[in-house]
Every structure is written in structure tokens, then in C-alpha cells.
Structure 1
Amino acid sequence: MNNSNQRSSFFSNVDWLTVFLFITLCVIGWFNIHAAVYDENKPSIIDTDTRYGKQFIYIVVAIVLAMLILLLESRFLSALAPFFYVTTVLLLLLVLVVGHNVGGNQAWIDMGGGFRLQPSEFAKFATCLLLARYLSATNVKVTDPKSFIIAGGIILLPMVLIKMQPDDGSTLVFCSLVFVLYREGLSPYFLIVVGLLVTLFITSLLFPSAYVVAVIVIATVLISLTIKRNRPLIFKVIIGAAISIAFVFGVKPLYEHGLKPHQRKRIDVVLGLTRDIKGVGYNQNQAKIAIGSGGAWGKGYLQGTQTKYAFVPAQSTDFIFCTIGEEWGFAGSVVVLGLYLFLLLRIVHIAERQRAPFSRIYGYGVASIIFFHVLINIAMAIGVMPVIGIPLPFISYGGSSLLSFTILLFILLKLDSNRMGVIHG
């Protein structure tokens, strides 16, 4: 009788709406991978010699893995956080030595049988777990310099190792965890400063430095006149303006010498500083053509000409959204975006209802990483951000990607299913 009650309690406490969203996105991804790399000689969607057949296997494994996570004892997740983190760090070190190079990135470990493991994908959930464990500890406050440095170090270590591969896209994903620190008390001024620096960086590339500096000086004078009775604040404004001017003059040398030529060209294409539709701008140009050609309702399943004739490289992975746009049209794209929005809102809702700080912090880590992936991937596909190569969660082809996102999400669902039994921390 007790076992029956426990099973009943287990099924009733799981957030099945989120599970439904997960399965829906996986199925959408599976069908779009089928469309993106369709082979007339192998039409079966479960043919394991094809990418869509392998994705079917990955989905089945992901569902089994999800169920196993839900059967775990949730208290072990916090205890095992250091183990997961150390293991992924060791794998990131191992991939630098024995890794398989694909597209210039030494990011995969060959597992045999055509399957590869990408440690950087699994580092995401491991970092979220350890960050949540540390920030939820007694007397740890993100506003304290020591706590901030340690939390930053937890995020920075995998970033450095992934950058060495070098995988710029996966490296940047970890920057999204700053939103976790913000939720836990980091001053909003930190985000404002980062936003201003990004704005200055872009404007310094688009306009002559003298013009940007002139705008900063004029803005400083106007602000100072507005708050002329508050001398300490005026002093801070002047210091901020001086730092901004120094940053402006440092942008172009940093841009020229800190980035690789192909990275600069990708940014130049997005900013409209150059036009190179046959070179680095080819992928994005073809992606925009594919999405735009879908119109309102799309060309229909397996009817996309840009997709069928492989005009867009990496269309089953980084540019999978092009297939959605071409074959499903604007309506289908809105549906997919709506599903992601619903999923993200659901994750934030789950995070906020947690009684344990560890679970709440981890939940915001999950939301941050998925949001960043969706934002950058789609922005890259429609040409408003440079190509950096990150998958669309649950939809892009790839076992490591799907399994890592599954682990990331279902650890949260497991923690949530046990929230009523948690009293504190």
C-alpha cells in the first residue's frame, strides 16, 4: 500500500506540462531534421543510417534518461554537484588531448560507431549544479566580494577550457549565468554597465571614435547640470565618462588584434560594414532566403527548395530554424517560438515556487542557459547576430546536445517534484 502511494505521489508531483513541452519540442526537432537532410534512398524516419534515424535513438535514450532522473533521490543531486563538475572539467581537459576535430573545433570525443561525446554540453548542467550548491550555502552572499569571485570562478573555469578548443559559441553560453547572480542579489548596475559597454563597442565600430566621444561628453555635461546639487554623483558620472572614453579608444585595437579574421568578418557582415554573401556571409544570407521564402504558411513538409538542395550548411544543427521557417512559414515559426516562451515562463515559475534556495538557483540556471541558446541561435539564423554555432535546444540534431538539455531540465523537474518535502536550503 505504501509503495502504491509513493508511486501515486511521484506521478502527481511531476510537472507534466513541462514534460509535454519537452516531448513536443523533441518531436518537432526530429521531423525537421528529417526534412533538413532527407535522403530519397532512405525515406524511413527511423532509418538509423541517417541523422534523423540517429536522432530518434537519441530521443528514446533522452526519455529513458529523463525517467531515471525522476526516480533519483533529489537530495543526492546537491551532494554530487562537485563530482559532476570535476568530471566534466576532466573531460574538457581530455578533449584537448584526444578530441576529434570538427569544423575547426576540437570539442568531441569519439565513442565509436559514429557516435561522439561533446563534454562542453554536459559542463552546462554540472556548472549550474555547483553554482547552486555554492550560492545556497550558509553565509554566502553574491554581494560579498569573496563570494562573487568564487561564484565567478565556478563559471569561468569551464569557459576557459572550452575556449581552448576553441568553441566560442559554447563559451559564451556560460555568460548567461550572470542572470542567476543577478537574481541572487547582484546589483542591477552590473548589468547596466555591461549593456553600456556592449553599446559603446558597437557604436565605436559603426562611427568614428571622435563622434562617439563627443556624444559621451555632451551627455556628461547635461547629466551634471541636471544633478548639479549632488556633487558625489557628479564625480561618479565624470569617472564613468572617462572610463567610457578610454574604452572607446581601445575598441578598435582590441577588435583588430583580439579577434580572428573570420570572427571580425562575421561581425562586420551583421553590422553592415561589409557585404560578403559568397564568403563568411554566405550561411546567413542563405538562411534568410530560406526563412523568407516560407512566407506566411510555409512550403509544406519536405517541400523546401533551399532545404532540399542543401543551400544552407549545418541545416540540421546550427541552422535548423531555417527548415522551420521555410517549410512551416511564419505561422510555424511563431508556434515554435511560443513553445519556447511557454517553456521558459514555466521554468521561471517552477524556480520561484521552490522552498529550497538550491533548487531556485538551479532553476534560474536552467532558464538562463535555454534562453541564451534560443535567443542566439534564432538571432543568428535571421542575421541579426554573428554566426557562433550553438544548437537550438531539443530541436537541433545531436546526441550530446539533446541529452545535456534533457539532464539540465529534468534535474529541475526532480527537485520540483520533491519541493513540498523540503524545509530549507
Structure 2
Amino acid sequence: MQRDHRGLNFDWIIIVLFLLLLGFGWLNIISASHSGEITSYFDTSQPYGKQLVFIILTFVLVILVLALDAKFYERFASVFYIVSLISLAGLFIFGKNVNGATAWYSIGGMTLQPSEFAKFATSLAVAKYMSDLQTNMKTFKDQLKTVGIIVVPAMLILLQNDAGSTVVYAAFFFVFYREGLQQIYLVIAVFLIMLSILALKFNVTVAVMVSAILIFGHHYFGQKKRPNIVQPIAILLACIVVSFGVKYFYNSILQVHQKDRIGIWLRLERDPDALHEMKQTILYNLHESEKAISSGGLTGKGFLQGTRTTGKFVPEQHTDYIFSTVGEEWGFMGSALVVLLFVALLLRILYLAELQKSQFSRIYGYCVASILFIHFMINIGMVMGLIPTIGIPLPFFSYGGSALWAFTILLFIFVKLDSNRINEW
């Protein structure tokens, strides 16, 4: 009798890319966390030893995720979402405070961060809701309900003082845009970001003047049929309110460390000496990370040979700042390889998402790609000083069991859904 191999029809390109990122990530955790001679890679007193245990358990997790029927994830999407909300809410009672954020459960000496797992649960819920309604995001009612699914966990995470993980939920707007959200929302978002930057970098007057030029220029030259003059005036008044609101929010609402991070990014301090002092005292990690990356040159200093890495110049380099280790020890070539691997993974997920026969699988695939993209873009941009410092991990690279397991579940649920498409072909 011929054996049926249909159950093994997984996308091996994604799996190989996953393994390459996971293996290279662990090598860099070794570099960033080792102290002196390495006697055993299973030394669980060191981060690289603990991470190896996490990686071994990750393979067990992969087997479990792939063993379940693909329909299971769609059928129980709401259950995953509700459980994730309960776990987030429970942190306010049972959570452990680490670095000012109450975002972890402490279980037998090990910490677990439910906000990481909430990402795949929210992705399942979004895909389930949108596919059940067959919504194309055209009506305001559908838009409001779908946005509500991501706002609830995002607000719970924000209340835990974990702003970095909250930002990740903006990734879902890429999904909504793919599923039919009107382009005007994207235009408004870009315009508001530009307006906020102008108000902070220069002043409210400059922000309002630029807004007026764009608004009235579009009113008189950008449309064949000009609407009533009241509309551009109302938009300009809204821009004035937003500009003053941004300044007030920055000066009176944000915490000191948050203002300093934005201030460094936008170079709001015009005194070079004061800016340098701010970098040294407030954003020491970023300053040392930039120096480590620049010291790597074209080909890097070699594995375990990074002087700034082995010298522990970048605090907690094995977590959010792991990419600075790549830059120093593997240079521009190694950094470019990491970027290419991530880009290849993202493109492969998007390609397969478009091949899905069910709307649920397609939407979930876009959720996976969007979340991985936001983490990849923000983490690497942060480490290189291109965007404000936001503490989120680099997928499959940064040390930590919660993030690694959550990213693995997120990715391999899609691998399973895609396998179901292949097997039913």
C-alpha cells in the first residue's frame, strides 16, 4: 500500500528561513552574553544556555502546532482571544513588575509575558471576525468593530506601562488596508505623523503653515470639482488643535525617559554638547549600540571577537539590542544577510497568503507578516538610531522564551493553514 505523505506538505522555504534566523540568533546571544571561556552551551546560568533550552522546547511547540487540525485554529479563535484578554487583565493582580512595567507572570523562577502571546490570539480573532462577516472594511460599523478587537488588548498592555508592545498593534492596519480599508485613512495617518514631527521639531506655527499650504493647495489644484471652502477651513482648524495637542502631550503627559527618546531622535536639543550629554546619560544603550555597529566595518570582527560586545559596553545587549552584536561581529555583510533573511520570510508569507483559498487564512497570513515586519523594522531602526527607542524584541534573535515561543506559534499556525491549502488542492 502506498503511504500518504500529504500531511508533510509544509512550506519548507519558511521552515528553512525560520531555522536560519533561529540559529544565527542563538550564535549572537552567545556572543552578547558569554563571560570568559564557554565550558558548556547548556550552562543555564548563562543566557545562551537558557535560550538553548527555550529553542529545544520551541521544536516541541512546533510539532504540537502542526499536529493540530488547521480548522482547530479557526474554530477556537475566539477562545484564544478571550483567554489572552484574561491573562492580560490578570497581570494587574498577579503580575510581576520589571523595569517599571507590570507585564510578566513569575512561575517557579521563570517569567512569562502574556502580551507576546496576545499577538497571535488577536491575529486569529481579527481573521475570524473579518472572514465570518465577509467584510471588506467599507462601512464605518465594520471598521469600528474590527478596530475594537485590537484596541482592547492594546489598551490592557498600555495600562501595564508596556508602550513598546502596544505600538506593535498598529501592524493590524496594514491588514485592514489589504482587506479594503479606504486609502484616506492611510493618508490621514501619514499627515498626522508629519504634522506631529513638524510641531515638535520646529513649532506650531510652522506646522500650521505647512498644513495650510497642503490643504488649500489640494483644494484648489488637486480636485476637478472643488468642495465648499468650509471643508478645508475645518481641516485646518483640526490641524491647529492637533499641533497644540501634540506639544501639550509631549511637554505635560509623556514621562521624562519617553521625551528624551523622542528628543534624541528628532535632535530637539540644539546644543551639541547638551545633546551628547543626553545621549551619554539618558540613552547610553543607543550611543554604545551605534558605536558597536559602526566598528564592525564591512565584514565584522568575527564570532566572539567583538570588543565592545565582549566588553559589555551595551547593557542587556542579548535582548532588544542584539542587532548591535550582528553589526560588530559580522559587519555590514552579516547585517545585510539578516535583513535579507527577514525580507525573504516576509515576502514568502505574503506570497502564500495571496494563494490561500479561505479568507481566514489569507487575513491571518497578513497579520503574521505585519507583526513580524513591525518588530523587524522598529527593532533594527531603534538599534541604529533611525527611530525612537522602543523596547521590543527582534523576532527569533532576542533572548527570551515568551517572545520566541509566541513568534513561533504565530508563524507555524500559518504554516499549518497553508499546509491545509496544499493538502486540499
Distance in 2, matches of 1:87 and 1:224, equals: 49
Distance in 2, matches of 1:64 and 1:421, equals: 23
**SS of equivalent to 1:232:** coil
Q: 47-56 vs 34-43, which deviates more? A: 34-43
Matched, 1:97 2:93: yes
Q: Which amino acid aligns with 1:313?
A: P
Question: Aligned residues: percent identity?
Answer: 44
Which residue is 2:378 aligned to? Answer: 376
**SS of equivalent to 1:277:** helix
Contact 2:317 2:325 in 1 (8 A): yes
Q: CA deviation at 1:250?
A: 2.2
Query: RMSD of the TM alignment (CA)?
Result: 1.7
Contact 1:355 1:422 in 2 (8 A): no
Distance in 1, matches of 2:256 and 2:408, equals: 36
Matched, 1:130 2:132: no
Select 1:273's aligned residue among 263, 268, 273: 268
Distance in 2, matches of 1:64 and 1:224, equals: 59
Which residue is 1:396 aligned to? Answer: 398
- 1:231-259 CA-to-partner distances (Å, cap 9, x unmatched) read 32765444333322321222211211221
Which residue is 2:78 aligned to? Answer: 82
Q: CA deviation at 1:271?
A: 0.8
Which residue is 1:111 aligned to? Answer: 107
Q: Which amino acid aligns with 2:289?
A: A
Matched, 1:196 2:191: yes
Matched, 1:225 2:227: no
- 1:337-387 CA-to-partner distances (Å, cap 9, x unmatched) read 000000000010111100000000000000000000000000100011121
Contact 2:208 2:236 in 1 (8 A): no
Which residue is 1:26 aligned to? Answer: 22
Which residue is 1:337 aligned to? Answer: 339
Distance in 1, matches of 2:225 and 2:266, equals: 39
Q: Which amino acid aligns with 2:135?
A: V
Q: CA deviation at 1:31?
A: 0.6
Distance in 2, matches of 1:228 and 1:60, equals: 59
Q: 381-390 vs 359-368, which deviates more? A: 381-390
Q: Which amino acid aligns with 2:91?
A: V
- Equivalences for residues 339-378 of structure 1 within 5 A: 339-378=341-380
What TM-score does the superposition give when structure 2 sets the normalisation length?
Answer: 0.95
Distance in 1, matches of 2:224 and 2:408, equals: 55
Distance in 1, matches of 2:351 and 2:264, equals: 38
Matched, 1:215 2:217: no
Which residue is 2:241 aligned to? Answer: 246
Which residue is 2:294 aligned to? Answer: 292
Cα 1:248–1:183 change in 2 (3 A) is: same
Q: Which amino acid aligns with 2:42?
A: I
Cα 1:146–1:40 change in 2 (3 A) is: same
Contact 2:35 2:310 in 1 (8 A): no
Distance in 2, matches of 1:211 and 1:376, equals: 28
Contact 2:168 2:374 in 1 (8 A): yes
Which residue is 1:52 aligned to? Answer: 48
Distance in 2, matches of 1:41 and 1:97, equals: 42
- 1:177-215 CA-to-partner distances (Å, cap 9, x unmatched) read 111111111011101100110111011111122222222
Contact 1:217 1:241 in 2 (8 A): yes
Matched, 1:120 2:115: yes
Contact 2:78 2:125 in 1 (8 A): yes
Contact 1:70 1:414 in 2 (8 A): yes
Select 1:70's aligned residue among 63, 66, 72: 66
Structure 1 unpaired stretches of 5+: none
Cα 1:250–1:111 change in 2 (3 A) is: same
Which residue is 2:6 aligned to? Answer: 9
Which residue is 1:318 aligned to? Answer: 320
Structure 2 unpaired stretches of 5+: 270-274
Q: Which amino acid aligns with 2:319?
A: T
Contact 1:179 1:368 in 2 (8 A): yes
* Corresponding residue pairs, total: 418
Distance in 1, matches of 2:215 and 2:367, equals: 37
Cα 1:254–1:352 change in 2 (3 A) is: same
- 1:248-278 CA-to-partner distances (Å, cap 9, x unmatched) read 2222112112211110111001111131122
**SS of equivalent to 1:418:** helix
Contact 2:323 2:383 in 1 (8 A): yes
Matched, 1:155 2:150: yes
- 1:136-159 CA-to-partner distances (Å, cap 9, x unmatched) read 013534222222111111101111
Contact 1:325 1:332 in 2 (8 A): yes
Contact 1:227 1:234 in 2 (8 A): no
Cα 1:330–1:139 change in 2 (3 A) is: closer
Q: CA deviation at 1:48?
A: 2.1
**SS of equivalent to 1:143:** coil
Which residue is 1:262 aligned to? Answer: 257
- 1:145-178 CA-to-partner distances (Å, cap 9, x unmatched) read 2221111111011111111111011011011111
Cα 1:329–1:227 change in 2 (3 A) is: closer
Distance in 1, matches of 2:348 and 2:190, equals: 26
Contact 2:195 2:211 in 1 (8 A): no
Q: CA deviation at 1:43?
A: 3.5
Contact 1:159 1:171 in 2 (8 A): yes
Contact 2:95 2:105 in 1 (8 A): yes
Which residue is 1:39 aligned to? Answer: 35
Cα 1:130–1:228 change in 2 (3 A) is: closer
